[in-house]
Amino acid sequence: MLRITGGKVYDPTNNIDGVVRDICIANGQIVADVQGGRTLDATGMVVFPGGVDIHTHVAGAALNFARAMTPENHRQAAKFLHSPEQRAGIGGTTPTTFATGYLYAGMGYTTVVEAAVPVLSAKHTHEELRDTPIVDKACCVLMANNEIVLDLLEAREVERAKQVVAWLIWAAKAYGVKAVNPGGVAAWKWGKDAKQLSQPVEGYSKTTPARIIAGLATIVDELRLPHPLHLHCNNLGAPGNIATTLETMKVLEGHRAHMAHLQFHAYGGDDWHSIRSEAKTLAEHFNANKNLTADAGAILFGNAVTITADGPWQHLLYQLTGRKWGNLDVENETGCGIVPYVYKGSNLVNAVQWAVGLELLLLIDDPWRIFLTTDHPNGACFWRYPEIVQMLINADFRHERVQALPEKARKRMVLPDLDRQYSLYEIAIITSAGPARALGLTQKGHLGVGADADITIYNQNPDGEQMFRYPRYVIKAGDVVVEEGHIRNAHEGREFLVHPTYDEKIEDFLRPLFQQVYTMSFDNYPVEIERITRPEVRAV
Amino acid sequence: MSCTLGEVKNRADFIIYWGGNPAECHPRHFTKYTIMQKGKFVPAGRKSRTMVLVDIRETPSAKAADIFLQVRPGKDFEMVTALRALIKSQRVSKEVVAETGLTVEQLQDFADRMKSARFGILFFGMGLSMTRGKHMNSAAVLTLVAELNAFTKFVAMPMRGHGNVTGSDMVMRWTTGYPFGVNLCRGYPRFNPGEFSTVDLLVRGDNDAALILGADPGATMPQPGIDHLARIPTIVLDPKVTHTSRLARVHITTAATGISAPGTVYRMDEIPLPLRPPLKSPYPTDEEVIHRIHQAVGKKPAWLPAANGRASVSRAG
Amino acid sequence: MITLTLKEQPSVPLEAESISPDVMATLSHDAIASLPVYLGKRQCRVDDFFRVEGGASEELHINGDAAKVKWIGRDMTRGRISITGNAGMHLGAHMKGGVIEVSGNAGDWLGGEMAGGHIHVRGNAGGQVGAAYRGSVTGMTDGLILIDGFAGLEVGMRMKRGIIAVRGPVRDFAGLQMKGGTIFLLGGAEIRTGAWMTRGTVVSLKPLRLLPTFAPVAAYNPVFLRLYARHLRTLGVSIPFESREGVYQRFIGDSAVPGKGEILIWQPQSTR
């Protein structure tokens, strides 16, 4: 039992904007009142709901491949020393699993969504998540290049496709559906890509990326999943890709959707020399399309590792930069490409990318629809989110950083003209309340009665980066897990799963097909529920 | 630059085995995953696939090959380096190429076939990774394959040894960041092959105790390494009494994984598979034994000095 | 001057990055004696293994067979370390300035990712001299490493700038993936010298067996060698460059990359 008293509470879901009030906790939940127990004096401090990261890459085959590729990054990374409270580990661009939990919790984040899980290696993802302490987790399973699904869409067997998708979500023990470069990763299996939404995908005559997007969005809505289709658009990273993004938004009309790392999809220009920001155009359309949410996918200058199921894009990046390249195609389902990368302020393209992330956060007017992410580790490491917070709440500081960019770059963006400053209330929305709502996690992202007791308490500090980097206390499920930067209690978090309704007979269709095109026994394919630590299943 | 085995089954029309003998060492490879399979995009199966075997001698695997390239021992690196040049239409020295046991014409033909494949795969074995050049031989084929992607789809995969070596690689990576040769003495993971890898540690005598699980170094290490194991306190966990057990201080018999102990293995293409042990064993599993040792060690005083002991998280990672 | 005399052989390798002029220059004798060194997983004191004399100096003298003492001189930027005896792995790794001299042998990773300074090993060195650590794209970026004996594998791997000179023979992969700098092999090398180099120069006074991706282009004595020879003579290293003595056969490669590195192999007049 715990009472937090004297702190200024920010709870946007419940319209509480910096009001000094008590928060009471019992049995891991927020309750109306407690008698006895510990009292935590938060006078002069700021109380937030625990952070929710709606899109990150922290566990599974792709990330583990990236770890293998970058020992030099590990050598420079923060070192987590073994102690009675803490497992050894390494931070940096691809933190080890225990370090991932400590780093997120240390920053006041208590729920994390692993954004890209192949069904075939989902067991691996869940094993890594089991070794990620403190935070609660959920997974999005990759679907938009699943050849069984694509073949069904090609044959116009939409109902059967829906049954298969539902079965796959439960087989993977996932929470949501992820679509990455729809059709493009399937084309990459032959070394090609899918850049035109209305062109049939390599190997298909009727199935276009647009059809896949619309098909999956419909299926997700019909299955009534709590989180909408989570979409990484075609043409990521390419100059002029604003056209593809706007076209995608048209395809999505009438459906819910969450657009991932929007920054990478907001470029104008024809080539790398003429690349410019089209964040303004994108924000205008996005503001008008109220069926959509998005996460920023902002970049920060410094070390990153690009890890994405967008295989063709990564091959291109390797050819352009000569950097290390890794690629792992997963039979019938998806693939991933990995290129370690360094973003530099002196590089015109990187400068534009840096601006675009911030522009989207400033130009999209509803903080309930745009969330703070860096597509970790693609844009920047997640433990640098506090740097972005500072740039959002302090326009002067932001302008100073803009002035440091090359003049040529400043002509390609509107950021110099933007003076908006985020309030703490709005920060609480984009880091917690908003993502929780978009995920349909009703017990997260707020401090009302019945919520999970995931609470972060900050010392007030005009320097947003310092304030958000060093929470005074982090409480998870009612336990004080971090106190002044030190891990006190690294318990295991829970994992949220969705069990969609499907006709069991779909297995009669899948089994023989599976045996034909896969390379393992069908009985070994689904993830066993025992493999999930503290699962919380939601039937839909 | 890799893929899962189903990609090979469904798409590969050009399959290279380099420095491995799958017919004897991975006996189900051809039939289950590669040349003999009818794939989704290779419905004619064997007829539409070409298999190239590169090795220093004609093993039983050569019977299954369409093309056998006999490379001289210790010349793989030279051969791959020449191929890297040839695929980019760069010049190579005829005389030096001839030292590999093959001619420039043979290598040019090989390069052309690789470039015109629809989907190529290069499987490489210990004949490459354990011979002169070691990790550079592996790096060579991986680089060649990466460069082939400028022309066509090409992937590579290591032919892993027995046991769950891939699984241990995976778990080590996610918990420490590194696949093997991990040193935790300073309280956090560090990696340096040649300094912290097993054979080097043992041969130099850099460790003063050893716990051996799922391996038999007493049979495979160079003699100085074996002598060192015999000198220091060595503990062996194994279902059988091994060569290492005979020179160890303690041998603990454990249940055989997969036969009487459960777990998860990772296939050579890094896909996890559950083990379903059919039998029971009177012996504890490796996991149970390690857990008990760990609990006993946990009761001892912490060995890290106080300054290092406090767990701290909120720093620039 | 600070003198450290090894009084106790470590049973397992001792990690001693605190033995560096940058660390010890301002410390008193007692402070030096209590500096941490790591015996496997145990933190010990310098004076558990060394008898300490002197303090507060940039000049360190180490006596004894310190072949199991690693990381001496790590990150140093100034001063001098002279070792009478052997030294362990990673001697002078990441150093940026100052001088290290060893009367005996050094271990692997001598001058690993060095950025400046001067190392002279009178005995033999191990592998990965001036090399990049695993995964890094760049090794040594400046400085000079001189080895009187022989050295091991991957000498100068991925170096970008600087000079390495070895009197004795070296093993495979000298100059692997070199991006710049110069390696002088007075005693020749085994195989795969200059493998995958993109730039840089390897000068060998003995014949070399090169990869098939190196092509002979000319035989001459480049002018820059004359300059190098003068510089190296001050260090006691003799490089021939007079045409009456012989000529260098120049090879370019590695065409596998394709790279623009060069390998110069000395052909004495008597053999032409």
Where along chain C do its domains lie? 105-271
Query: Are the C-beta atoms of residues C49 and C37 closer than 8 Å to each other?
Result: yes
Output the pLDDT for position A489. Answer: 84
What is the predicted pLDDT for the residue at B162? Answer: 77
Dist. CA B119–CA B108, nearest whole Å: 19
Q: Does residue A92 fall inside a structural domain?
A: yes
- Tell which wins on pLDDT, A308 or A399: A399
When pLDDT is cut at 50, 70 and 90, the band that residue C272 belongs to is: low
Is there a contact between C12 and B207 if contact means CB atoms under 8 Å apart? Answer: yes
Q: B14 and B143 share a domain?
A: yes
Q: Specify whether the CB–CB gap between C162 and C143 falls below 8 A.
A: yes
Report chain C residues touching chain B, CB-CB < 8 A: 11-13, 15, 38, 40-43, 68, 89, 108-109, 127-128, 133-134, 172-173, 176, 192, 195-196, 210-215, 254-258
Domain identity same for B122 and B194 = no
**In this model, does residue B313 exceed pLDDT 60?**
no
The residue-averaged pLDDT of B109-132 equals 96
The answer for B 66-125 residues in CB contact with C (under 8 A) is: 77-78, 81-82, 84-85, 88, 90-93, 96-97, 99-100
Q: What is the pLDDT of residues A355-378, one digit of tens each?
A: 999 999 999 999 999 999 999 999
**What tens digit of pLDDT does each residue of A317-332 get?**
999 999 999 999 999 9
Predicted pLDDT at A198 = 96
CATH code: domain of residue B195:
3.40.50.740
| A29-74 pLDDT per residue, tens | 999 999 989 999 999 999 999 999 999 999 999 999 999 999 999 9
Going from the C-alpha of A294 to that of each of A380, A432, C92, the distances in angstroms are 17, 14, 50
Residues of the domain holding B233: 165-300
Q: Number of folded domains in chain A?
A: 1
pLDDT of residue A491: 87
Structural domain contains residue B309: no
State in Å, rounded, how far the first CA of chain A is from the last one: 33
pLDDT band at A184 (very low <50, low <70, confident <90, very high): very high
Touching check for A331 and chain B: CB below 8 Å? Answer: yes
* DSSP classification of residue C135: T
Of the candidates A12, A13, A40, the one whose C-alpha atom is nearest the C-alpha of residue A25 is A40
Query: What's the DSSP call for residue B255?
Result: P
For residue A351, is it within any domain? Answer: yes
**Record: contact B175-A330, CB cut-off 8 A:** no
The residue segments making up the domain with residue A382 are 46-495
Q: What are phi and psi of A479, to 5 degrees?
A: -100, 140
Q: Is the confidence metric ipTM above 0.85 for this complex?
A: yes
Residue B83 sits in the same domain as residue B169? no
Does B308 have pLDDT greater than 80?
no
**Could you read off the pLDDT of A196-248 as tens digits, one per residue?**
999 999 999 999 999 999 999 999 999 999 999 999 999 999 999 999 999 99
Same domain, B136 and B255: no
Which among A271, A269, A268 has a CA at the least distance from the CA of A282? A268
Could you write out the three-class secondary structure of A158-188? Answer: HHHHHHHHHHHHHHHCCCEEEEECCCHHHHH
Q: Helix or strand or coil: residue C44?
A: strand
Q: Quote the pLDDT of residue B161.
A: 82
Task: Please report the pLDDT score of residue B305 as a whole number.
Answer: 59
pLDDT score recorded for residue A83: 86
Phi and psi of B230, rounded to 5°? -70, -30
pLDDT for position C172:
98
Q: What is the CATH number of the domain that holds B39?
A: 3.40.228.10
Q: Are residues A277 and A299 in contact, defined by beta-carbon separation less than 8 angstroms?
A: no
Residue B96 included in any domain? yes
Residues B142 and B215 in one domain: no
How many domains, in total, are found in chain B?
Answer: 2
Please list every residue in chain A whose beta carbon sits closer than 8 Å to the beta carbon of residue B317: 77-78, 91-92, 95, 99, 103, 381, 383
- Tokens standing for residue B285: 């599993």
Which contacts (CB < 8 Å, 24+ apart) does range B37-46 have?
Answer: B37/B9, B39/B9, B39/B10, B39/B11, B39/B12, B40/A147, B40/A516, B40/A517, B40/B10, B40/B11, B41/A203, B41/B10, B41/B11, B42/B9, B42/B10, B42/B11, B42/B12, B42/B13
Mark whether B136 and B197 lie in a shared domain.
Answer: no
C110 three-state secondary structure: coil
Measure the CA–CA gap between A169 and A175, rounded to whole angstroms. Answer: 7
Structure tokens at A288: 């008008």
H/E stretch holding A26: strand A23-26
pLDDT of B310 reads 41
| C8 secondary structure, DSSP code | S
Rounded Cα gap, residues A126 and A174, in angstroms: 10
pLDDT of C205-262, one tens digit each? Answer: 999 999 999 999 999 999 999 999 999 999 999 999 998 999 999 999 999 999 999 9
Cis preceding linkage at B217, omega within 30: no
Domain membership flag for residue A307: yes
Residue A142, amino acid:
L
User: What proportion of chain C, given as a percentage, has pLDDT over 70?
Assistant: 99
Rounded Cα distance, A358 and A296, in Å: 8
Query: Chains that contact A by 3+ CB pairs under 8 Å?
Result: B, C
Partner C contacted by B231 (CB < 8 A):
no
Is A483 in the B-facing interface, judged by CB distances under 8 Å?
Answer: no
**Angstrom distance (rounded) from CA A375 to CA A385:** 11
Whole-angstrom Cα distance, residue A100 to residue A83?
Answer: 16
Query: Taking each helix axis from N to C terminus, what angle separates A147-154 and A506-517, rounded to the nearest 10 degrees?
Result: 120
pLDDT (average), residues C146-159: 98
| Residue C132: pLDDT over 90 | yes
| Whether B135 and B190 share a structural domain | no
Question: A73 to chain C: which residues are within 8 Å by CB?
Answer: 135
Q: Please name the member of C43, C108, C215 whose beta carbon is closest to the beta carbon of B91.
A: C215
For chains A and C, count residue pairs whose Cβ atoms are closer than 8 Å: 13
Q: What is the pLDDT of residues B53-73, one digit of tens each?
A: 999 999 999 999 999 999 999
Is B305 a domain residue? no
The mean predicted confidence, pLDDT, of chain A is 96
Question: Is the residue at B312 inside a domain?
Answer: no
A513 lies in a domain? no
Cα distance between residue A341 and residue A308, in whole Å:
13
Q: Which of A65, A67, A70, A72 to mutate to test the interface with C (most CBs of C within 10 A)?
A: A72
In a domain, A39, yes or no: no
- Average pLDDT in chain B: 93
C29 close to C54: Cβ distance less than 8 angstroms: yes
Q: Is residue A305 part of a domain?
A: yes
At A138, is the secondary structure helix, strand, or coil?
Answer: strand
C-alpha–C-alpha distance, residues C240 and A227, integer Å: 74
Determine the Cα–Cα distance for residues A128 and A147; give it in Å rounded to an integer: 26
